Amino acid sequence: MNLLSILTFLPLIAGIIILVAPSGWQKQFKYITLAVTLVQIAISGYIYFHFDNSLRGVDLINSYQFKEQISWIRLDLGSMGKLQIDYFLGIDGLSVPFLLLTSIIMMVATISSWEIKTNLKGYFALFLLLDTAIIGVFCALDFFLFYIFYELMLLPLYFLIGMWGGVRREYAAIKFFLYTLAGSVFMLLIMVGLYFSVTDPETGNHTFNMVHMMNPANYSGDSIFGSLAQQTLLGIPARLLGFIILFIAFAIKVPIVPLHTWLPDAHVEAPTPVSIILAGILLKVGGYGILRICYGIFPDAAIHTSWWLGLIGVVSIVYGALNALAQKDLKRLIAYSSVSHMGFVLLGTASLTAEGAAGSVMQMISHGFLSAMLFFLVGIVYNRVHDREIANFRGLANIMPQYTAFVMIAFFASLGLPGFSAFIAEAFSLIGAFNSETVNGAIPRWMAIAGSVGILLSAAYFLWTLQRMFFGQTRLMGGEEWRTKLNDLTMREKLALAPLALLALILGVFPSLAFDKINGSVLELIHHVTGK
Amino acid sequence: MIPLSNFMMLSAALFVIGLYAVLVKRNVIQLLIGIEFMINAALINFVAAGKSDKNYMGGQMTALFTIVIAAASVAVALAIILNVYKYYKSIDPDKLNKLRD
Amino acid sequence: MDDYSLYISDSLNGTIAGIRGIYPEIGLVVSFLLVIFSELFFVKRIKQLPFWITLISLAVVFTLTIKQFAIGDSLTLYSGMIVLQPASVYFKLLFLLSAILFIVFVRNNQQMQQHKKGTGDLYAVLIAVLLGMNCMAMSANLLMVYLSIETVSIGSYIMVGYISGDGKQAEASIKYALFGAACSAIMLYGISLIYSFTGTLNLNADLLEGLNAIPVWSAGLAITLFLVGLGFKMSFVPLHFWSPDVYEGAPTPVTAFLTTGSKIAGFALLWRVLEAFNSSGNAISVYDFQGLIGIVAIVTMLFGNLAAIWQDNIKRMLAYSSIGHTGFLMMALVANTAGFKSLIFYLFIYLLTNVAAFMLVDKVEQESGSVNISTYLGLGKSMPLTFISLLIVLISLTGLPPTSGFVAKFLVFGSALESYKSSGSSLILWMMITGAVTTVVSLFYYFKVPLYAYLRKTESILPREKFDVKLVISLVLTFLVLIFGIFPQVITDLIN
Amino acid sequence: MEQHDIIPVVSLLAVLMPLLSFVLCMFFVPKSISGKVAVSSIAVSFIASCFVFFKIWNAGNIHIQHHWFTLGQTSWDVGLLLNNLSALMILLVSGIAFLVHIYSLAYMKGDENIDRYWGYLSLFCSSMLGLVIADNLLLIYIFWELVGFSSYLLIGFWRTRDAAVQANKKAFIMNRLGDLGFLLALMILYSQFGTLDIEKLFGDGGLFHLSQFTSGEWIAPLGHISYVWLLVCGFGFVFGALAKSAQFPLHTWLPDAMEGPTAVSSLIHAATMVAAGVFLLVRVSPIFDSTVLITIAVIGIFTAFMASTIALVQNDIKRILAYSTISQLGFMMLAIGIGNNGAAIFHLATHAFFKCLLFLCAGSVIHEMHYAKNKLDADCDHQDIRNMGGLRKMMPLTFVTMVIAALALCGIPLTSGYLSKDAILISSFEWATTRSFAAKLIPYLAMLTSWLTTFYIARLIFKVFYGELRIQGDKTERLIHEAPRFMLMPQLFLAVCSAFFLFSVNPLSYENTWLLKVFPGSVALERIHSYHTVIPALLNLFAVLIIYFAYIQYARKEKAMFRENTWLYNFALNGWYFDEFYHQAIVRPVTYVSKFSFSIDRKVIDGLVDIVGKSGVLLSSIAGWLDRKLIDGFVNLAGRAAAGLGNFFRSFQSGRIQYYLAVMIFVVLTFFVLRYFSPAI
């Protein structure tokens, strides 16, 4: 049984066990889920360290690793030929870091789920279903399978936000669902179009295999997305339209500026563990999708639109940071800071340089750890006093010293202090963006300069918050009653925070841990897109 | 002999009268009468056109069947109207609007 | 007189030869008589005898229909009145399946069982309606079309008004009857016009020549009027007004049957007419069917999904959603031959999902008395099994991946894309885009149910869930909907 | 291990020992012995740097590298570059740090979170030492920001004081602004040369020298871009240095940084960190072309002049010294601007000693004043020189050492300050001879600034040590007594270092200081003999006059020559209103823009999305009421957005059968007419 399949379906089985188990076992559900996440960490750790860095993946099908390909659906559609869908899992440099990131974040989210009190059975079942869907998205190499896992992610999140969320949870949940579904339904149309354009070299009938979609030889002459047919849909060249629609579908997840308004609502209303997962991993699915699918399948369109992608990236950075500066609610501030930090991912990717792309993947990993830590920290305060307004707290450092230490680590790490992974990621994204004009002219230099303003703004809003909430004389809105409630970190909370801080530090000091795995695939992706 | 188009004119006129009755009448039964007018208009057409179609007698056959079916549908409709009257105490179609959006 | 004698012997031979092709219909007639007979004499002693007889006879007819696959390509019987093709056999199987599910539903429906008149007559009427549907699937002659539509319509008026427990059902049946009668009258007039223009009733080449000969607008008028009757059965946009009120008013099992059985019959007939027109020379010159269906499909999809947003009554919402699905299905029709397999698959999945949905809605109504979505507060926890399967069914109706609804929509999109490749008309593109947009809109009103059931709490005490046959059947249906989503080839290999 | 290999290991030891003590103090070691751990670690690193200094000075460079990570094709390495500059700096930094550590033992005794103090101090030392010996610009950038971060921690050490918390945020953000320039310069260099290794770039035969500048184009190994980018790269480095060394546009954070403990101010904001800017400029000096050098010189001299005018009127002892540091750094910038890097480094070294000494003495004075204030519990500011006076008798040793330092600052002969200041002034005069008239202005401005320096330091000395103690309350019994032993020892040692003999045998001419010989100036200045004698003489003559004048003014208290509330006085007191200007010009608009963008976000984009997506959740209740109103109307106006459209479709269901039939026929007929009789379809 292939490792990836075990990693993907282990949580699903555990989820079913929890569903079937008598609801009296409230306490055991937590421990079952924790055990599952620990096993997942073991497996993904094993995969990470047995990953052969020299194999490049991306568009070379035989250089994917831990592959598993079983024929799943063979529909005979009469004149439309046989529909061939395979259960095809495999990983390469782009997806292997995300497996480890997902398992770790899931473990931290489980620890933080100790605070959930109502309807534990439903909660942990949905939690594990979400886990399966996310791992599946990162491993799937068959577009149909990818789409199923991609949609499967929405259902549990809708209920997790909807049933355990804050005051306006329904509005947030339905808004999140509608946003993502709107993007993915049009992705379905493109997927159908691609399916009919691509034929599998071995079996000769149409296929969903993403890697076959990446190499232009498999496109039949008259097909819609065939590069030589130059068909146009609604006046726009078909391949460009396909790229734009797929990009929009993933951009909603990233999120980029015009399509980001679901993020603050979803985060503010979601319970802490869910917003940890939402920020830690869900945003990375968008970035991963752009790299793997948009850039992989439509490389020619990617070059044309790289200027626009860069512009959107820069706008996201600056606009997100400015918004974060104006927030009064701490969680909403961190949500907008995530929008700004994910802007770097887009800028790095649009640069189509090795530094830029590797920087953006590194930024996704580092932002995964840091945003999970930030949301967990906000959750700690919120669980104690049920208030997140920055203005209501002052001088927390005096009554919660350890908490302040972790907050300072998290804040300084996310604003890009060297020694932490975010600095390496953001610096190399910007260097790549700046460098791209000499290397391939993808995006102009001023975008890198405008992007670097984002670093300054992130320093501004993080330090301003630190100064308002943590330093100075202790004055709390809730007065004495809050002071008694605001006790310092418990062992459980430290157990969740310490690994994240350590990982951010280790990746900052030894970035080769991540870069060695990513380099091969990034170079192959750049070669695939720009031909250099 | 009278050309087919005259018959078609007559049936068209009858059809429109029936349609008018259906749309305007304040009484469900008169509405049914309107529908019968429309069906008879079709009958005229069938019989008139049937004259030229010698061998299959298509027109006559259809007319016969239509008469039988029209009778059946009217019977069912009247039974339902009876039932409606039991509850609504009126057969004005505008009154029957409990089921609406 | 003697010149007629030539024909009598031929037509007699034709009728005798034709019997071989209509065994299932004969079976239905026999079972119709049996049911009436058992209803009159034996019902005192064995209360549910009519149900069992109907069930057995339907099973027998099912096997007879499957045998009909052996007839190979199309076989015209009774001098062109009906034609038997594998396509119509598939449709017949779908009718039988929806009829069987209807009977089982009626058997477990409290409202029906407590009715003083008993359900024997209902079964008889059902078999008559089934016979009408089979004829609809096979008709090749305009008279046959009218006859079959009328049998099905009159039968369904009776079924809708069967219980007339309160004003609503009576009003529903009168609306259905009047709207139906008016539409069939218009259709009849359309047929008479066609007949007087072309002189023939058989849907074949010379009918087309006749229509080519006359000025284009008059042919257009005749065919448009003819399509009105057809539209009534399928309830696409201009002809849909009756369906929300009738579906809300009628008893739930009948609504389930109407939304599935008679709608599929409508599609079968439209398929038959299109197939007849297209196979005998290109019908485009006479009447642009593709364009009409395209526009109607777009408007129906938009209307069905957008209007459903406001509905609070669950049955009315499902009515609007079935209008939306009609629009989506017409996209498969536009792709004519290529679309047949996706059409049948979608219809089959739509049949299962809709019946399951209505059964679950009926169970919720029966146990908690709430018909409106807003009164579903907190039921999610107290009736877990019901609401989980209702959730899966609604997900399948929306078309989200793990369920078969997604595969169905995917196949229809595929066939539409295929037809776009061959014909290249941008109308099909707009249809696909509307299809995508309306799927997103449909998510919103389908998810109002779990929104109220799970996300909202209530203090009032809630009914416990009773584990009865209806729940078992709906669970089985939900399981099928899920399994066909993961392994669709189980079904598609059967259709070829 | 052969001779050559020990040195890098030792220098690495010098850097890592403070880091070890940072980790120990912060997490493991109890409060009581954290001081000893910190001092011993800095002691070890001081000894190590002495060893490295004597091995490296004038004996060729050492450059070892180790692979850090590969990214794409380029592999990034981490390494040590030990040349004369880094050897000198490593000695300077660890020496002064060692002295300040000893000083802090006494100064910070009794503070409740002392372990955090030692931790932060050790972190600062290790990052500063790392900055000095890093071999590639990325590593320098990393240590550069870590230095800024540790200064943030130390300024905000007493985090209950609001002023301190405001100050450290301001310091960090301003430093971060400078770092943007630095990062931009890095990017330009990387995109042109593909590497950031200093040796490869600027070493002899390095890549930078291969690039040609023809017709507005900068052709380099990897790419060719317009010449402007070379200027931008130069200005990037300058901008970074300006922020770190608190020069003209970005200097306002240094005076506020005085909120931190005085020991910290002395180490960081006088000697080491602020010197990092100068160090960086010298490190990358080959990249500057003439226009950039001119700008550096102008900024330097303007800052010097401005800071000295402000220092004239300040009353807080530490703020005077802060502005004096800014002014002296201005001088160093001037030296770099005129191409005499040697003079800049020489002044940096001497300034480090006497400015650190000034701060330490100020620290002792404040320490005693604070002690006295608590005893009298007078509520006056113990740092304000107007409350001090007549400390000569009570703190003789501090008085002596402070006077020596003051003399060094003014540049009076026999002190190291004289040598380094003269080096700068004379070479600026030599530089100006060949330049245009405007350039000639600079040396005279420099001379004027040094006189102003003499005046404000004299004012400080006389106000603090002469006259009577002006603190409220009864001053009968002896309040102030000499600083404790641990504070005095560093002061005495530094006083010794401020004398001339540490740097050159001949006290009067700067030419043959051992330090200058090693650093070649980037612009060859031919020596004009006359200047070498006339300028020092002129300078010192006036200096003595000014000191005497200040003596009369402040020590004897005859008559206040300067009226207090003139416009000019207030202008200088508030630091030329830069703070207010920045607040109005930058901080308020940025917060305004961010509030504006958030309102866009909430109203426009969210609103737009909601209208499109508004299919019922929010509008349903209102629309429901409207909907019932419309149901009876026959013709319904076209609905609003998607919700409205749904409403519009739904309102056809009026429930009346004839209405249905009428609409149905109407639609069928219109379709038929449109289809066949209108040209449209």
Tokens of D432: 């100006």
State how far the Cα of D341 lies from the Cα of D282, in Å rounded to an integer. Answer: 6
Residue-wise pLDDT for A29-60, tens only, equals: 889 999 999 999 999 999 999 988 888 877 78
pLDDT value of position D615:
39
B99 assigned to some structural domain: no
Of B18, B48, B62, which is closest to C201 when you measure between CB atoms?
Answer: B62
Confidence of residue D126 (pLDDT cuts 50, 70, 90): very high
- Is residue D42 within 8 Å of residue D94, measured between CB atoms? yes
Mean pLDDT, residues D320-334: 90
**What band does D622 get if pLDDT is binned at 50, 70 and 90?**
very low
Find the CB nearest B23 among D650, D651, D658. Answer: D658
Beta-carbon contacts of residue D4 (< 8 Å; ≥ 6 apart): D62
Element spanning C327, H or E:
helix C314-334
What pLDDT score was predicted for residue A371? 94
Q: Report which DSSP code applies to D210.
A: G
pTM of the model: 0.85
Q: Partners of C84 in the beta sheet?
A: C75
Per-residue pLDDT at B59 exceeds 50: yes
Mean per-residue pLDDT of chain C: 86
Other Cβ atoms closer than 10 A to D64: 17
CA–chain centroid gap for C143, Å, is 21
Residue C402: closest CA among chain A residues belongs to which residue? A148
Query: What single letter denotes the amino acid at residue C336?
Result: N
Q: Find the closest chain D residue to A471 by CA distance.
A: D159
Which residues from chain B sit within 8 angstroms of residue D655, using beta carbons? Answer: 96-101
pLDDT value at C1 more than 60 = no
Tell me the H-state helices in D411-436. Answer: 416-433
What's residue A146's pLDDT? 93
CB A283 within 8 A of CB A275: no
Q: A13: Cβ–Cβ under 8 A, 6 or more apart, which residues?
A: none
> How do residues D50-90 score in pLDDT, each as one tens digit?
988 888 888 878 888 888 888 888 888 888 888 888 888 89
Q: Do D71 and A397 touch (CB under 8 A)?
A: no
CB D284 within 8 A of CB D208: no
Residues C169-193, mean pLDDT to the nearest whole number: 91
- Give residue B79's domain range: 4-88
Task: Name chain C contacts of A79, Cβ cutoff 8 Å.
Answer: 337-338, 418
Please name which of C428, C391, C427, C426 lies closest in space to residue C413, comparing C-alpha atoms.
C428
Predicted confidence (pLDDT) at residue A456 exceeds the cutoff of 80: yes
3-state secondary structure of D225: strand
Would the CB atoms of B101 and D661 count as touching at under 8 Å? no
Please give the average per-residue pLDDT across A384-405, as a whole number. 89
Tally Cβ neighbours within 10 Å of residue D673: 11
| Residue in A220, A246, A244 with CA at minimum distance from that of residue A234 | A244
Query: Measuring CA to CA, how many Å separate D664 from each of A207, B26, D659?
Result: 45, 19, 8
Q: Determine the Cα–Cα distance for residues C98 and C62; give it in Å rounded to an integer.
A: 12
Q: Which residues contact D652 (CB under 8 A, 6 or more apart)?
A: C241, D636, D660, D663
The confidence band for C4, taking pLDDT boundaries of 50, 70 and 90, is low
Calculate the alpha carbon distances from C448 to C133, C373, C395, C454 in Å. Answer: 35, 7, 12, 10
What would the pLDDT profile of C75-107 be if each residue is shown by its tens digit?
777 777 888 888 889 999 999 999 999 999 998
User: Distance between CA atoms of D644 and D632, rounded to whole angstroms?
Assistant: 17
Report the range of poorest mean pLDDT among A47-51, A450-454, C390-394, D370-374: D370-374
Mean pLDDT of C404-417: 88
- The pLDDT assigned to D549 comes to 80
In this predicted structure, what is the pLDDT of residue D661?
87
> Beta strands D74-82 and D62-71: pairing type?
antiparallel
- Scanning the structure block, which residue is given the tokens 């504006």? D596
Q: Which residues lie closer than 8 Å to D345 by C-beta, 6 or more apart?
A: D85, D88, D278, D282, D515, D519
pLDDT at residue D356 above 70?
yes
Q: Smallest CA–CA separation between C436 and chain B, in Å?
A: 26
Q: Is residue B100 part of a domain?
A: no
User: Cβ contact (<8 Å) for D658 and B19?
Assistant: no
Whether chain C has a CB inside 8 Å of the CB on B14: the answer is no
What six digits make up the tokens of D428? 């600026």
Rounded to 5°, angle at Cα A251 from A245 and A256? 135
Domain boundaries, chain A: 3-530
pLDDT band at C461 (very low <50, low <70, confident <90, very high): confident
Mean pLDDT across the stretch D535-554?
81
Looking at this protein, which amino acid is placed at residue C334?
A: V
Inter-residue contact B70 to B36 (CB < 8 Å): yes
Q: Which of A283, A316, A2 is nearest to A139 (CA)?
A: A2
Contact by Cβ (8 Å): D160, A472: yes
Q: Which residue has the tokens 């595929």?
A: C414
pLDDT, tens only, A278-293: 999 999 999 999 999 9
The Cα–Cα gap between D651 and D617 comes to 19
Read off the pLDDT band of A102 (50, 70, 90).
Answer: very high
* pLDDT on residue D679: 67
Average pLDDT, chain B: 87
pLDDT at D23 over 60: yes
* Closest residue, chain A, to C448 (C-alpha): A174
The pLDDT, as a whole number, for residue D680 is: 54
By Cβ distance, the residue of A169, A173, A185 closest to C439 is A185
Provide the CATH number for the domain around residue B12: 1.10.287.3510
| Helical segments of C335-488, H only | 336-368, 379-382, 384-398, 404-423, 426-446, 448-450, 469-486
Q: Distance between CA atoms of D393 and A312, rounded to whole angstroms?
A: 69
User: Which pLDDT band, with edges at 50, 70 and 90, does D559 fall under?
Assistant: low
Kindly report the number of other CB atoms within 10 A of residue D315's CB atom: 14
- C337 vs C258, higher pLDDT: C258
Task: Categorize the per-residue pLDDT at C396 as very low, low, confident or very high, splitting at 50, 70 and 90.
Answer: very high
Asked, for residue B16, whether it belongs to a domain, the answer is yes
Asked if the structure places residue B42 within a domain, the reply is: yes
b/e A358-375 (16+ beta carbons within 10 angstroms → b): bbbbbbbbbbbbbbbbbb
Phi, psi for residue C42 in degrees, rounded to 5: -105, -5
Whether the pLDDT of residue C389 is over 70: the answer is yes
Nearest to C363 by CA among C215, C203, C228, C252: C252
CA–CA distance, A184 with A187 (Å, rounded to integer): 5
Residue D624 confidence (pLDDT) above 70? no
Of A69-78, A250-259, C93-102, D338-347, the range with the lowest mean pLDDT is A69-78
Q: Which of the pair, C57 or C111, is modelled with greater confidence?
A: C57
Question: In this predicted structure, what is the pLDDT of residue D591?
Answer: 74
Report the candidate in A71, C190, C391, C312 with the shortest Cα–Cα distance to residue D628.
C312
What pLDDT band is residue D623 in, cutting at 50, 70 and 90? very low
Q: Least CA distance to B7: which residue of chain C? A: C196
Determine what percent of chain D falls in helix, strand and coil, rounding each to the nearest 5.
70, 5, 25
pLDDT at A116 over 80: yes
Higher pLDDT, A97 or D680: A97
Enumerate the residues of chain C whose CB falls inside 8 A of the CB of residue A181: 400, 439-440, 443
pLDDT tier at A257 (50, 70, 90 boundaries)? confident
Chain B nearest C-alpha distance from D645 (Å): 15
Let me know: does C24 contact C61? Beta carbons within 8 Å: yes
For the segment D617-628, the average pLDDT, to the nearest whole number, is 34
Tell me which chain C residues have a C-beta less than 8 angstroms from the C-beta of A189: 413, 432-433, 436
A474-483, D8-17, D643-652, range with greatest mean pLDDT = D8-17
The two tokens of residue C381 are: 């926890």
Average pLDDT of every residue of chain D:
80
**B60 — contact with chain C (CB < 8 Å)?**
no
Check contact C-A (3+ Cβ pairs < 8 Å): yes
Q: Tell me how far apart the alpha carbons of residues A327 and A468 are, in angstroms, rounded to a whole number.
A: 13
With a cut of 70, say whether residue D259 has pLDDT above it: yes
CA C96/CA C94 separation, integer angstroms: 5
D 286-315: CB under 8 A from B:
none
Q: Give the Cα separation of A523 and C201 in Å (integer).
A: 71
What number of other Cβ atoms are within 10 A of residue D595's Cβ? 14
How many angstroms separate the CA atoms of D130 and D135, rounded? 10
Worst-scoring range by mean pLDDT, C59-63, C438-442, D404-408, D527-531? D527-531
Over residues C240-251, the mean pLDDT reads 89
- B76 vs C245: CB contact, 8 Å cut-off? no
pLDDT (tens digit per residue) in C147-162: 999 999 999 999 998 8
Between D250 and A146, residue with greater pLDDT: A146
Q: How many domains does chain B have?
A: 1
Q: Is the ipTM of this structure higher than 0.85? A: no
- Whole-angstrom CA distances from A204 to A125, A199, C116, C342, C481 are 41, 6, 63, 22, 30
Pairwise CA distance, residues C229 & C186, whole Å: 7
3-state secondary structure D307-349: HHHHHHHCCEHHHHHHHHHHHHHHHHHHHHHCCCHHHHHHHHH
Per-residue pLDDT, D316: 86
The answer to whether residue A427 scores a pLDDT higher than 70 is yes
Per-residue pLDDT at D681 exceeds 60: no
What's the confidence (pLDDT) of residue A324?
86
In whole angstroms, give the CA distance from residue A182 to residue A500.
34
The chain C residue lying nearest B22, using CA atoms, is: C182
Facing B101 at nearest CB: one of C178, C188, C244 = C244
Token pair belonging to A152 = 């499967």
Mean pLDDT of D180-184: 90
Confidence label for C479 from pLDDT (cuts 50, 70 and 90): very high
DSSP for C81-123?
A: TEEE-HHHHHHHHHHHHHHHHHHHHHHT-HHHHT-TT-SHHHH
3-state secondary structure D349-372: HHHHHHHHHHHHHHHHHHHHHHHH
Q: Which pLDDT does position C2 carry in this prediction? A: 53
Give the pLDDT mean for D182-200. Answer: 87
Report the pLDDT averaged over residues C360-368.
90
Is B96 within the bounds of a domain?
no
- Cα radius of gyration (chain C): 23
3-state secondary structure of D383: coil
Of C413, C447, C489, the CB nearest to A75: C489
Given a cut of 90, whether residue C333 has pLDDT beyond it is: no
